[in-house]
Amino acid sequence: MNLDTAKWKLFNFVKIFDIKKGFYNKKPESSGVGTIPFLGATDSNNGVTEHYTYEEIESSSKTGDGSNESIERKIFPANAVCVTNNGSVAYAYYQNKPFTCSHDVNPLYLLNGEFNEYTGMFVAAVIMYDRYRWGYGRKWRPERMINSQSRLPIVCDEQGLPIIDATYKYSREGFTPDWEWMENYIKTLHHKPLTTQVITQSDVNLNTTDWKEFLLHRIMKAGMGNGIDAVLTTSDNPKYNYVSRDSNGNGVVGFVDEIEGEEPFPAGTMSLALGGSFLGSCFI
């Protein structure tokens, strides 16, 4: 299936998602036998930082002074796309079973219908594509999330023209997200197990004992990034990689439009993260 994002349209979060707040609760001690996932502000393991029993979640309290909330406030139903709003911001994960989470996570549910494994994974990937906008200490709390938008494929007729919804349920223009297309696209991504023909005996011994130190400024021309605010970038006709502080994807966190007056860095440049949790990450 052709992933042509040029025909996708922007949708306001509040028109397609029921945005829930995570629960401000103390992370309880784990017995190691629980099966209920606890989601936190992490960038790995599908957002899961621990597993707990029903009793452990029910008895935990943030203040520790004896006050507590009901278990119904702490456990969220399955089929949610959970988005981190603090720490490792804007990581999104689909949850296929009931879970509990911290207030650093916002569970998203569809207003009309329900996520399944495929649509949930698709939306999570789209949200993380815009993750670069939330770097530099920005928090994506619910008060900001309600003003956010996401670009999604839309329902079209056989000629490829948008089918306008007369009720304008999802957008002011009458566009409707094409959940069936999203599901079918994810299904096409299944692949056979990876194999390799690498022969370990051919590995080169990397002996560094004879290496010497060099001052970087003697062998490299160093400069600073151009300080473009990620929130102000657009991606209608993307042309350039947006490199930021990250430890994955070769440092590329987005693909953005050309910015008037800004000169792009040439290919072959090395990038070095100068701060944040990914300090020292270096790519070419």
Residue 267: pLDDT band (50, 70, 90) is very high
Q: To the nearest whole percent, how much of the chain has pLDDT over 70?
A: 95
Residues 241 and 126 in one domain: no
Whether 236 maps to a domain, the answer reads yes
User: Which is more confidently placed, 115 or 274?
Assistant: 115
pLDDT in tens, 153-200: 999 999 999 999 999 999 999 999 999 999 999 999 977 777 877 776
**Number of residues in the chain:** 284
Whether 208 maps to a domain, the answer reads no
Among 119, 150, 181, which residue terminates a domain? 150
Among 134, 150, 166, which residue terminates a domain? 150
Residues 21 and 145 in one domain: yes
Residues 25 and 143 in one domain: yes
What is the residue range of 117's domain? 11-150
Give the CATH number of the domain where residue 21 resides. 3.90.220.20
Encoded amino acid at 112, one letter: N
- The DSSP bridge partners found for residue 52 are 36
Buried-exposed string 182-205: b where 16+ CB fall within 10 A, e elsewhere:
bbebbeeeeeeeeeeeeeeeeeee
User: Which is more confidently placed, 29 or 136?
Assistant: 29
Asked whether the predicted pLDDT for residue 47 surpasses 90, the reply is: yes
Measured between alpha carbons, how far is residue 250 from residues 74, 254, 262, 273, 284 in Å?
Answer: 37, 11, 22, 11, 7
Cα 108 from chain centroid (whole Å): 13
Whether 200 maps to a domain, the answer reads no
Residue 239 to residue 262: CA distance in whole angstroms? 13
Residues 145 and 275 in one domain: no
Whether 56 maps to a domain, the answer reads yes
Average pLDDT over residues 1-18: 91
Residue 172 to residue 152: CA distance in whole angstroms? 15
Whether 48 maps to a domain, the answer reads yes
The predicted model scores a pTM of: 0.72
Whether 175 maps to a domain, the answer reads no
18-32, 52-66, 228-242: which has the minimum mean pLDDT?
52-66
Helix, coil or strand: residue 144: helix
Whether 188 maps to a domain, the answer reads no
Residues 243 and 126 in one domain: no
Residues 19 and 121 in one domain: yes
Q: What is the mean pLDDT of the chain?
A: 88
Whether 266 maps to a domain, the answer reads yes
pLDDT in tens, 211-248: 999 998 899 998 888 888 877 888 888 889 999 877 77
What's the structural domain count of the chain? 2
Among 128, 150, 172, which residue terminates a domain? 150
